[in-house]
Amino acid sequence: MPRGFAGADAPAAWPRLPGTPRPERAAASVSTLSGVGPALDKKLAKLGLRSVRDLLEHRPHRYESAVPERPIAELLIGEEAAIAGEVRSVSVRRPRRNLAIVSARVADGSDEIVAVWFNQAWLVDKLQPGTRVRLRGQLKRSGFQVRSYDLNGVAATADFAPVYPASEEVTPQRLRGLVERALPAARDLQDPLPAELKAAERLPLRADALWALHRPRSLEEGEAGRRRLAFDELLVLQVGLARARAGREAAVAPALGEPGELVARYRGLLPFELTADQESAIREIDTDLAREAPMQRLLQGDVGSGKTVVALYALLRAVEAGRVGALMAPTETLAEQHFLTVEPLCTQLGVRVALLTGSVKSELGGAQIVVGTHALIQEGVDLGELGVAVVDEQHRFGVEQRRALTSRTPSPGVNASRAKPATLSDGTAGGASGGVSGGAGLQGSAPHVLHMTATPIPRTLALTLYGDLSVTEIAKPPASRKPIVTSWVTAERSSEAYRRLRRHLDEGRQAYVVCPLIEESETSQSRAAEAEAERLRRAELRDYRVGLLHGRLRPAERRALMAQFKARELDVLVATTVIEVGVDVPNATIMIVQEADRFGLAQLHQLRGRVGRGAEQSYCLLISRPREELTDNAQERLQALVDSADGFDLAEKDLELRGEGQLLGTRQAGISDLRFVHWRADRPLLERARAAAGGLVDYEGPLADEVERVFAEPELAA
């Protein structure tokens, strides 16, 4: 039968029109770009750059300024300028080890000059006589010191050339080239904004925004591009939160009524008066618990501000209503610490408590308060009728645990480290997240949930990330507490620091020594700590009882050690960062942090919070390498700790030092979203996104795809 007459058969696929977006091109691995082999691929992955899209969304942290292009004859000493010319000759010198100087004679019509590069010996081959170059740099006595250069065409030396966050392995220059190659794929990305919204908000096309971000002709153009991309991020976040909220509205929790006799006795048992902030936190919690809508409250307070006391109150409210209270911590050490704190009080109150971690499975039968790690929410654990769940340091939970958690408790969906509710893509009714169905232990109704965090985040940020989660802050620590005195000394004065530490020990106080941070593994970290404890036992702490706490100890050993330290059978606890949270020994009044420059600001603040927990004046001594060897950033971090003891201040500072999009306390790599938002400057933008999101909850199309991508995709583990 003859075939092929027009109209007889439609082809299986129509030919692609030129210019049709090809999303798969943007989604492809960076290795599909020319010049990216397996080695570079790995180095890029360390920067979180895995796909072409990642490169497109790699935000420059600044732009080069505009500089004049001058004839060589008119260069001024000290002025930053660009020159364009031809290489006449090139040579390399190595005056000492670790130093290579490349010099090239460059001529334009007006004159000739020697251009100088440091430590880029490989450039010699590329700068052969006759090569056309454009150089940006500064005329010094020794010649023209090159900051950036172009060998073919203008890119790096252009006015407003982007400067990318880079690593030692991948230079900003290299990244510029890669982004250049990725840019054509900007047209392949879907534009998530509905057209009407784009028009109403007067926002550019997404592809144009990306071009403007990477190739601005002015700073304003770059900023306009950034703002469009920030708007997308905020909108996606707000739509995701609105969906989660819609899913939660249906959930019902047991209304727990008025505070009763048990919590009254609890108050009576406490050896101190609650602070005003604690009282108001309790009032807010009581109001939440009286309702049938599940409580979703974030309790923020600095380390040692007295959150645990409030948390236990909430748990006891569940108990007196005949239900179970669960306290969940991200690590075994922290869970055990909580257990040690909570158990004696509960025993006095006649409340049965159980500890449940990966390695401790005590009898749950009849427990009224259960303390544990994520083991609590594992399959087959029957918690009975859960009334109140307290989730401590939720942002430290790993992805999987957070998923389990969000599908069992009506979580706010997003937490400080941007946990993604897993249920968005699971086809839950209306795409709603939050897992309102409850888990095995929840028996149909949802518990009231109190989230606790000691890494406070600025309130606007918290509201953005947690949607309509209510936020309570314990801003002031108990009045009896004196602010910790922090000093920063360099290593050559460490013997002085230890002398001070011994003075405290001689007065009957206890101390912590925190070992240097080692990136490699828990095992090498623990080994190094063992070696350091041995060294200290022979040297600085010869006459004292020294215990060693690290992550490789078995839980029983760790518990025994903590109990010994609490009972003052040990003078000093040498520890890795496992003491960062939860350890509570008021008699410990001094801490030495070795090689403090290796730690992050938030982490140091957390560590420091282990002292200053009693009425005595406490001290934190930060020891670092000599100042000259520290990066500016490290110096600022240490100075910030000396200057401020306020966690909220430090949170802002940390945000500033780490770049706007990075959230405090988020340790997992791969938390790459929200990279375009400037928290302070973009508040109005946030409001606009929030307003727009309300009408877009059920919107289908590219925006919905984007919401699912952001909320459902597991973060890549480090």
Interface residues toward Mg ion, by CB under 5 A? 308
Using CB under 6 A as the binding rule, whether residue 613 contacts ligand ADP is answered as yes
* DSSP structure string for 137-167: EEEETTEEEEEEEESSSSSTTSTT-EE----
Task: Decide which of Mg ion, ligand ADP, none touches 118; Cβ closer than 5 to 8 Å per partner kind.
Answer: none
Sign of CA dihedral 118, 119, 123, 129: positive
* Residue of 274, 463, 712, 716 that binds ligand ADP (CB under 6 A): 274
Using CB under 6 A as the binding rule, whether residue 456 contacts ligand ADP is answered as no
Q: How far apart are CA 86 and CA 92, in angstroms?
A: 18
Task: Decide which of ligand ADP, Mg ion, none touches 613; Cβ closer than 5 to 8 Å per partner kind.
Answer: ligand ADP
Q: Phi then psi for 219, rounded to 5 degrees?
A: -65, -35
Strand duo 485-490 + 324-328: pairing: unpaired
How many positions of this chain bind ligand ADP (CB under 6 A)? 19
For 381-396, give one letter per residue: b (16+ CB within 10 A) or e. Answer: bebbbbbbbbbbbbbb
Q: How far is the CB of 468 from ligand ADP (least distance, A)?
A: 24
Q: Which of these, 157, 143, 93, lies nearest to 119 by C-alpha position?
A: 93
Q: How far is the CB of 277 from ligand ADP (least distance, A)?
A: 9
Cα 314–Cα 316–Cα 321 angle in degrees, nearest 5: 105
Using CB under 6 A as the binding rule, whether residue 272 contacts ligand ADP is answered as yes
Contact 588, 562 (CB under 8 A): no
Rg (CA), the chain: 30
Tell me which stretch binds ligand ADP (CB under 6 A): 199-207, 302-310, 379-387, 596-604. Answer: 302-310
Using CB under 6 A as the binding rule, whether residue 278 contacts ligand ADP is answered as yes
Q: How many helices (H) and strands (E) does the chain have?
A: 21, 20
Tell me which stretch binds ligand ADP (CB under 6 A): 2-10, 125-133, 301-309, 681-689. Answer: 301-309
Q: How far apart are CA 593 and CA 169, in angstroms?
A: 29
Q: Residue 506, exposed/middle/buried by CB under 10 A (0-12, 13-18, 19+)?
A: exposed
Q: How far apart are CA 69 and CA 110, in angstroms?
A: 13
**Which contiguous run of DSSP H or E holds residue 211?**
helix 206-214
Matching residue, tokens 């982007």: 162
Task: Decide which of Mg ion, ligand ADP, none touches 275; Cβ closer than 5 to 8 Å per partner kind.
Answer: ligand ADP
Q: How far is the CB of 618 from ligand ADP (least distance, A)?
A: 12
Using CB under 6 A as the binding rule, whether residue 305 contacts ligand ADP is answered as yes
Using CB under 6 A as the binding rule, whether residue 334 contacts ligand ADP is answered as no
Tell me which stretch binds ligand ADP (CB under 6 A): 75-83, 254-262, 272-280, 429-437. Answer: 272-280
Task: Decide which of ligand ADP, Mg ion, none touches 305; Cβ closer than 5 to 8 Å per partner kind.
Answer: ligand ADP
Tell me which stretch binds ligand ADP (CB under 6 A): 299-307, 545-553, 639-647, 651-659. Answer: 299-307
Q: How far is the CB of 377 from Mg ion (least distance, A)?
A: 21
The pattern of x and - marking residues 308 through 327 that bind ligand ADP according to CB under 6 A reads xx------------------
Tokens of 602: 């938030």
Task: Decide which of Mg ion, ligand ADP, none touches 272; Cβ closer than 5 to 8 Å per partner kind.
Answer: ligand ADP
CA atoms within 13 A on the CB side of 508: 2
Q: Tell which positions 473-492 bind ligand ADP, by CB under 6 A.
A: 478, 480
Q: How far is the CB of 304 from ligand ADP (least distance, A)?
A: 4
Contact 340, 563 (CB under 8 A): yes
Sign of CA dihedral 531, 537, 541, 547: positive
Using CB under 6 A as the binding rule, whether residue 589 contacts ligand ADP is answered as no
Q: In this complex, which beta carbon is closest to ligand ADP, that of residue 41 or of residue 646?
A: 646
Q: In this complex, which beta carbon is closest to Mg ion, that of residue 423 or of residue 606?
A: 606
Q: How far is the CB of 337 from Mg ion (least distance, A)?
A: 8
Give 669's DSSP letter. Answer: T
Q: In this complex, which beta carbon is closest to ligand ADP, that of residue 299 or of residue 386?
A: 299
Contact 128, 87 (CB under 8 A): yes
Using CB under 6 A as the binding rule, whether residue 254 contacts ligand ADP is answered as no
**Residues in a beta bridge with 639:** none
Q: In this complex, which beta carbon is closest to ligand ADP, that of residue 83 or of residue 303?
A: 303
Measured in Å, how far apart are the chain's first and last C-alpha atoms? 61
Q: Which of these, 539, 543, 536, 488, lies nearest to 512 by C-alpha position?
A: 536
Task: Decide which of Mg ion, ligand ADP, none touches 188; Cβ closer than 5 to 8 Å per partner kind.
Answer: none
Q: In this complex, which beta carbon is closest to ligand ADP, that of residue 230 or of residue 585?
A: 585
Q: How far apart are CA 648 and CA 653, in angstroms?
A: 9
Task: Decide which of ligand ADP, Mg ion, none touches 478; Cβ closer than 5 to 8 Å per partner kind.
Answer: ligand ADP
Task: Decide which of Mg ion, ligand ADP, none touches 370; Cβ closer than 5 to 8 Å per partner kind.
Answer: none
Q: In this complex, which beta carbon is closest to ligand ADP, that of residue 373 or of residue 606?
A: 606
Tell me which stretch binds ligand ADP (CB under 6 A): 99-107, 304-312, 356-364, 619-627. Answer: 304-312
Using CB under 6 A as the binding rule, whether residue 275 contacts ligand ADP is answered as yes
Task: Decide which of Mg ion, ligand ADP, none touches 303; Cβ closer than 5 to 8 Å per partner kind.
Answer: ligand ADP
Q: How far is the CB of 715 from ligand ADP (least distance, A)?
A: 27
Q: In this complex, which beta carbon is closest to ligand ADP, that of residue 206 or of residue 338?
A: 338
Q: In this complex, which beta carbon is closest to ligand ADP, that of residue 410 or of residue 609?
A: 609
* Residue of 303, 321, 329, 388 that binds ligand ADP (CB under 6 A): 303
Using CB under 6 A as the binding rule, whether residue 345 contacts ligand ADP is answered as no
Task: Decide which of ligand ADP, Mg ion, none touches 84; Cβ closer than 5 to 8 Å per partner kind.
Answer: none
CB atoms within 10 A of CB 92: 16
Using CB under 6 A as the binding rule, whether residue 551 contacts ligand ADP is answered as no
Q: In this complex, which beta carbon is closest to Mg ion, that of residue 646 or of residue 705?
A: 646
Q: Letter for the amino acid at 525?
A: Q
For 452-464, give one letter per residue: b (16+ CB within 10 A) or e. Answer: bbbbbbeeebbbb
Q: In this complex, which beta carbon is closest to Mg ion, that of residue 410 or of residue 609?
A: 609
Give 89's DSSP letter. Answer: E
CA atoms within 13 A on the CB side of 85: 26
Measured CA distances, 705 to 124, 190, 236, 250, 365 (Å): 49, 10, 10, 24, 45
Q: How far apart are CA 677 and CA 46, in angstroms?
A: 22
Using CB under 6 A as the binding rule, whether residue 618 contacts ligand ADP is answered as no
Task: Decide which of Mg ion, ligand ADP, none touches 586; Cβ closer than 5 to 8 Å per partner kind.
Answer: ligand ADP
For the chain, give the longest Cα–Cα distance.
105
* Residue of 57, 288, 584, 715 that binds ligand ADP (CB under 6 A): 584
Q: In this complex, which beta carbon is closest to ligand ADP, that of residue 283 or of residue 554?
A: 283
Q: How far is the CB of 684 from ligand ADP (least distance, A)?
A: 34
Q: How far apart are CA 386 and CA 326, in angstroms?
A: 7
Contact 157, 136 (CB under 8 A): yes
Task: Decide which of Mg ion, ligand ADP, none touches 486; Cβ closer than 5 to 8 Å per partner kind.
Answer: none
Sign of CA dihedral 700, 701, 705, 711: negative
Q: How far is the CB of 278 from Mg ion (least distance, A)?
A: 13
Q: How far apart are CA 505 and CA 514, in angstroms?
A: 16
Q: How far is the CB of 579 from ligand ADP (least distance, A)?
A: 13
Interaction site with ligand ADP (CB under 6 A): 272-275, 278, 301, 303-309, 454, 478, 480, 584, 586, 613
